[in-house]
Structure 1
């Protein structure tokens, strides 16, 4: 479970530590231990209310909360469900996309990530197709597997965010949506993202992504 405390900021608890993701600053923040209890008590309240003064000050100092922003909320809680099937996609179809077309897609995604904030990049996904109903597993698996097999022909280094967004764009060309999930692990700190549908993790293994606590899904 994670909390969407501001339109651009989400929060989760991982291994008894609290973390914030600020899309506007493209940054993760660890909540100081001295304030973690107060933050969690606010998040866990059964009614919506404004944050305590010390939490508001923390958010302001970190520039997560700025003049003109709405009040932070503890009311928006979201759960991420891992797919029911654990194996990775297989069955590539090389007719889905050629090497040059895939290289152009990845290069365009790479450029977009450097020209926009993460908040802006994710906002552009708002018009993505809806998540697929069950029954399209084979088609989606073929797209994901084809992307993975063609990927080595592109000189740009692999990166979980870059490749998740590029695969997401390829799926959208074929009329399929997916959920982009961001997760964190506490010790040592690590962050990761991946694509999934209700049935499959598309660009990673279940065993790997299960190590991360979701902090954002969209």
Structure 2
């Protein structure tokens, strides 16, 4: 039987975490919930991540019981806390070069919106994240020039305004990432949190460039998950 005092900790499956205002926040994608560790647990996790020291089992046991942490055989393993940097740019400066969507673009995006909504409703947040990140089967994923990005996002935004649903950052980011992936453009979907008052927001980036929104609109959100 393994002794808990010599064991380490790891994030549970589909759980993501970051540090904001000296507290550790969790996104449990499998259960579609956000949680915040208490002061002592946050201090133990932050110290553990910096120095790979053995954390206080008593303060972390509630996080294990809540399904946020799991035991690890490597007692010196560091937690994978999100340290994604702030975006460096956005597409607002190239709006005049954007293209209008074609009829086929509108149909494709409407279909993706239906699929994304169905994934969220039937299978949950974690499954929807995996679905949005499926790579293009033929061309593969690549870096993209700013003009190509602008045209691709313009088609998405133009078609999105025609859908009979109000804008939602989560749904729109799922659709946009899948839309870019189908065109061979590598993107990352970023989910961020704001501690006080608590709020969550998500957006899509390509090489540090925000595609749906502005870098200023996401500046106050601490990335907790990059998918």
**Which category describes the TM-score, using the shorter chain as reference length?**
0.7 to 0.9
Secondary structure in 1 matching 2:44 = helix
Choose which of 189, 194, 199 in structure 1 pairs with 2:203. Answer: 194
2:19 counterpart residue number:
13
What is the 5 A alignment of 1:48-87?
Answer: 51-65=55-69, 73-87=77-91
Choose which of 161, 169, 186 in structure 2 pairs with 1:177. Answer: 186
Mapped contact 1:39–1:55 kept (Cα < 8 A): no
State the alpha-carbon separation in 2 of the partners of residues 77 and 93 from structure 1: 40
Secondary structure in 1 matching 2:27 = strand
Q: 1:8 to 1:157 in 2, by over 3 A?
A: same
State the alpha-carbon separation in 2 of the partners of residues 55 and 97 from structure 1: 55
TM-score, normalised by the number of residues in structure 2: 0.80
Note the residue ranges of structure 2 that are not aligned, 5 or more in a row. Answer: 1-9
Mapped contact 2:141–2:181 kept (Cα < 8 A): no
TM-score, normalised by the number of residues in structure 1: 0.83
Mapped contact 1:87–1:200 kept (Cα < 8 A): yes
1:44 counterpart residue number:
50
Q: 1:109 to 1:195 in 2, by over 3 A?
A: same
State the alpha-carbon separation in 2 of the partners of residues 123 and 98 from structure 1: 23
State the alpha-carbon separation in 1 of the partners of residues 23 and 79 from structure 2: 20
State the alpha-carbon separation in 2 of the partners of residues 38 and 82 from structure 1: 26
What is the 5 A alignment of 1:202-213?
Answer: 202-213=211-222
State the alpha-carbon separation in 1 of the partners of residues 117 and 108 from structure 2: 14
Q: Indicate the larger mover: 182-191 or 24-33.
A: 24-33
Mapped contact 2:18–2:81 kept (Cα < 8 A): no
Secondary structure in 2 matching 1:124 = helix
State the alpha-carbon separation in 2 of the partners of residues 28 and 82 from structure 1: 21
How many matched pairs? 210
Mapped contact 1:93–1:146 kept (Cα < 8 A): yes
1:22 counterpart residue number:
28
Superposition RMSD in Å: 2.6
Q: Deviations over 1:41-88 (max 9, x none)?
A: 22222x3x664312441222323246xx75695253553233433443
1:15 positional shift: 2.2
The answer to whether 1:93 aligns with 2:100 is yes
1:122 counterpart residue number:
129
1:165 counterpart residue number:
174
State the alpha-carbon separation in 1 of the partners of residues 110 and 30 from structure 2: 28
Q: 1:35 to 1:64 in 2, by over 3 A?
A: closer
1:136 counterpart residue number:
145
